[in-house]
A and B are shown apart, each in its own frame.
Chain A
């Protein structure tokens, strides 16, 4: 069984070129940043995700502040948002050092404004406050974020719904239809088709959805008893047998 982190460490969609870059010393070469940035745009367009490669981009920006491209950073953060419950968003913000003073007034740096918004979105997801997330997401404040960045990121909303699905799968065996709708920001027919895609079954009469069992939502009371093996008793038994 592949471990939970093997896909995160080495995504199957990563090419050998990127693999060498990420695992070797070439990742420090500033001229390679273009390759990694192209790979990021590939991830955005084809709904793939490679955490370590994106972190490599951020590290290059850390050392070479002239390479800094705020659009790339925003895209990386958006992608990391959807990786919840992995701590990717935090890892990315750890690598965002201070920006030097921007001397070019024509192209203002959007990051100082966007970063708190993105952090807010992330916190809402992390605290599993999904209805609040969607409200915030649709609010006016996020208009520039939506129009400039999220629209480019294919499948962003789908990915966020996946995050919600993961949380719901772990906690519920049955959940009300309306409640689920608020979690994934869907309703009516769209919601029903989404539920079907997830493989969950909908009972229209009671308006509840049954979630199939998985290791997280099967619970049983376990008493952890010690397991005394015969080998441990060997010496005692053998000794008793000798006494005559």
Chain B
């Protein structure tokens, strides 16, 4: 038996893959009491036997791994130990994905325990490996409840290691893409668990017990997720770092401010990504003001034309823009939302060619699609002029829906549909009462409702409502309030002054004066919204908007700041019963076109004048006026004098 085992380990078939001459430090485990098993009369220790059997199983599994995978893991491990950032990046980005496609497209990667011998039981590497393992499970397969709990424990171990190791910051160096993915995945698993947990129906008994247990209540609790993110931010002092950079402090001062953790790129990047993570978590929990407040120091980066503090992965920028836009949308600050979305979509369209790798590309595209949808909603509620490219794309995708929504109340269904497609999957902070089976049963099967005034009904048996519905209702109410606006607009555009009673006559029967006046007030309200005002530079949109804003906010201001600005081009005022209307029109802009083309013509002219004249040996009659070699394509040939060509006269350029 032992001979057979040695053979398994020693086997090393020929390889066709690149990592050819890596020394595989295989340790052949030695079984001290191997002879014990040969004596049938001896009482075997049950647990030892089980352990031995488990180890045999493990080794068999390990041996069954493709060699390519084994080599990859060893190579990866070595790179991590050496803090060799380029190698790690390569292994992480291309190696892992390639092997997943090849071997593990539909199954899980081998468990960490199996590959442990390959990496000498390096616990830190195994934690990182498990992080990748569970990410694969969540994205390609369906995680069961064990997976969920274990991935939570693994994340806790990882963050514990990063934050609470004795002796300060850990000597680990990982590529920013991986760090972003760690945070992103952590929040994604939290969201996934919250959604899973909030549906108590159709759960097996085992699941119910696990969820109701002490550990079950602790796993993926909102407080612990927030705790992780806040700790990363505080440890790395990333807010102080951002503020110091904005104030223009020197490197030494900054290093002092951020302390020993903050100077290491690992922690600084984790801190910055945690800020974006917090933005996302707060949006998921429905707290939009706090979400924006968190990003005050970081700003919204590339999405609004500002520079990002360092090269962050594309996905980070896209995520920031998406969630910040959702916040502004729910705060009814439609101009700001539109600006954020447009900025990001423009950037994504331009950068698309560089990002065709792996699952990142799909995810970015999906988020971009949702942003287009939300932009369509913004345009319906607050029409403004936007960048042309983006407007065309939105019209392409949602033109029909936008016309439907522009017709008032009948567009409500379309509005809700688009919102439900594009909004984030909101979650509730609290789980259903798994620890109380009676309460849980009541929740799943609520008793038939009695009349609202009876005392039993008010003792609060609420059915489970989806938080998304709550948010949808708030925005739909706003949409419904604005539904008379399109009709009114079209009528008012035809007049400069109009009696209110006449206006009532134009509208559908059954509408009285008072209601029309209410609608006018609503329309006036809809024509204004709070928006952030930037400085004069780049305030192109403000010109078209005809803003009544004051000087723009400085870069140090909060993301929640803003001014009331007018966003409608149709302005009116009511003088008792007479409505006076004034429309602002945007004049044609032609100066830019002319200037550009003049400059282009000037450049061409200069080019022509600078080029060498053809030498002409013929009598004056055929000489061209000296302003440039006009030729039919061969100015380089001096030998062909033009004797019969047309005389060319260059008129003075005015």
Let me know if A112 is at the binding interface, CB within 8 A.
Answer: yes
Let me know if A156 is at the binding interface, CB within 8 A.
Answer: no
Q: Which one of A55, A123, A128, A227 has the greatest number of beta carbons of chain B within 10 Å?
A: A128
Q: Are A55 and B599 in contact (CB under 8 A)?
A: no
Given contacts A62-B429, A97-B429, A228-B591, contact A105 B522 (CB under 8 A): no
In the assembly, what is the distance between CA of A100 and CA of B436, in Å? 11
In the assembly, what is the distance between CA of A55 and CA of B291, in Å? 12
Chain A residues, CB < 8 A from B442? 101
Q: Are B460 and A99 in contact (CB under 8 A)?
A: yes
Chain A interface residue bracket vs B: 35 or more
Chain A residues, CB < 8 A from B465? 98
Q: Are B524 and A6 in contact (CB under 8 A)?
A: no
In the assembly, what is the distance between CA of A175 and CA of B546, in Å? 27
A-B pair number, CB within 8 angstroms: 219
A85, A101, A112, A226: the one contacting B525 at CB < 8 Å is A85
Let me know if A189 is at the binding interface, CB within 8 A.
Answer: no
Q: Are A172 and B460 in contact (CB under 8 A)?
A: no
Q: Are B430 and A94 in contact (CB under 8 A)?
A: no
Q: Are A55 and B287 in contact (CB under 8 A)?
A: yes
Q: Are A91 and B331 in contact (CB under 8 A)?
A: yes
Let me know if A35 is at the binding interface, CB within 8 A.
Answer: no
Q: Are A221 and B583 in contact (CB under 8 A)?
A: yes
Let me know if B83 is at the binding interface, CB within 8 A.
Answer: no
Which residues of chain A (118-140) have a CB below 8 Å from chain B?
Answer: 119, 123, 126-131
Looking at B179-187, B242-250, B375-383, B471-479, the stretch in contact with chain A turns out to be: B471-479
Given contacts A3-B561, A170-B521, A175-B574, contact A224 B595 (CB under 8 A): no
In the assembly, what is the distance between CA of A223 and CA of B525, in Å? 22
CB distance from B314 to the nearest CB of A (A): 29
Which residues of chain B (458-511) have a CB below 8 Å from chain A?
Answer: 458-462, 464-465, 467, 470-471, 474-475, 477-478, 481
B471, B560, B572: the one contacting A9 at CB < 8 Å is B560
Given contacts A5-B562, A108-B460, contact A62 B430 (CB under 8 A): yes
Closest to A217 in B: B573
Let me know if A33 is at the binding interface, CB within 8 A.
Answer: no
B579-600 vs A, CB cutoff 8 Å, 1 = contact: the mask equals 0111111110101100100110
Q: Are B599 and A101 in contact (CB under 8 A)?
A: no
Let me know if A17 is at the binding interface, CB within 8 A.
Answer: no
Q: Are A219 and B573 in contact (CB under 8 A)?
A: yes
Closest to A170 in B: B524
In the assembly, what is the distance between CA of A85 and CA of B332, in Å? 10
Q: Are B289 and A91 in contact (CB under 8 A)?
A: yes
Let me know if B117 is at the binding interface, CB within 8 A.
Answer: no
Let me know if B286 is at the binding interface, CB within 8 A.
Answer: yes
Chain B residues, CB < 8 A from A87? 330-332
Q: Are B548 and A215 in contact (CB under 8 A)?
A: yes
Q: Are A55 and B525 in contact (CB under 8 A)?
A: no
Q: Are A94 and B286 in contact (CB under 8 A)?
A: yes
Q: Are A174 and B430 in contact (CB under 8 A)?
A: no
Chain A residues, CB < 8 A from B467? 97
Q: Are B585 and A101 in contact (CB under 8 A)?
A: no
Let me know if B544 is at the binding interface, CB within 8 A.
Answer: yes
A1, A100, A119: the one contacting B439 at CB < 8 Å is A100
Chain B residues, CB < 8 A from A105? 455-456, 459
Residues on B close to A: CB < 8 A? 222-223, 226, 230, 234, 285-290, 293, 330-332, 428-430, 433, 439, 442-443, 452, 455-456, 458-462, 464-465, 467, 470-471, 474-475, 477-478, 481, 514-515, 517-522, 524-525, 528, 530, 533, 543-544, 546, 548, 550-551, 553, 557-558, 560-564, 571-577, 580-587, 589, 591-592, 595, 598-599, 602, 605-606, 652-654
Closest 8 CB pairs of A and B: A102-B460, A128-B521, A108-B458, A94-B286, A222-B584, A90-B474, A225-B587, A221-B582
- 25 intermolecular pairs with C-beta atoms under 8 Å apart: A5-B530, A5-B562, A65-B430, A94-B287, A94-B470, A95-B287, A96-B470, A97-B428, A102-B459, A105-B455, A105-B456, A109-B460, A127-B522, A128-B522, A130-B518, A168-B521, A171-B524, A172-B573, A172-B576, A174-B576, A176-B576, A179-B517, A224-B543, A235-B602, A240-B654
Residues on A close to B: CB < 8 A? 1, 3-6, 9, 23, 25, 28, 51-52, 55, 59, 62-63, 65, 85-87, 90-91, 93-105, 108-110, 112-113, 119, 123, 126-131, 167-168, 170-176, 179, 182, 208, 215-228, 232-233, 235-236, 239-240, 243
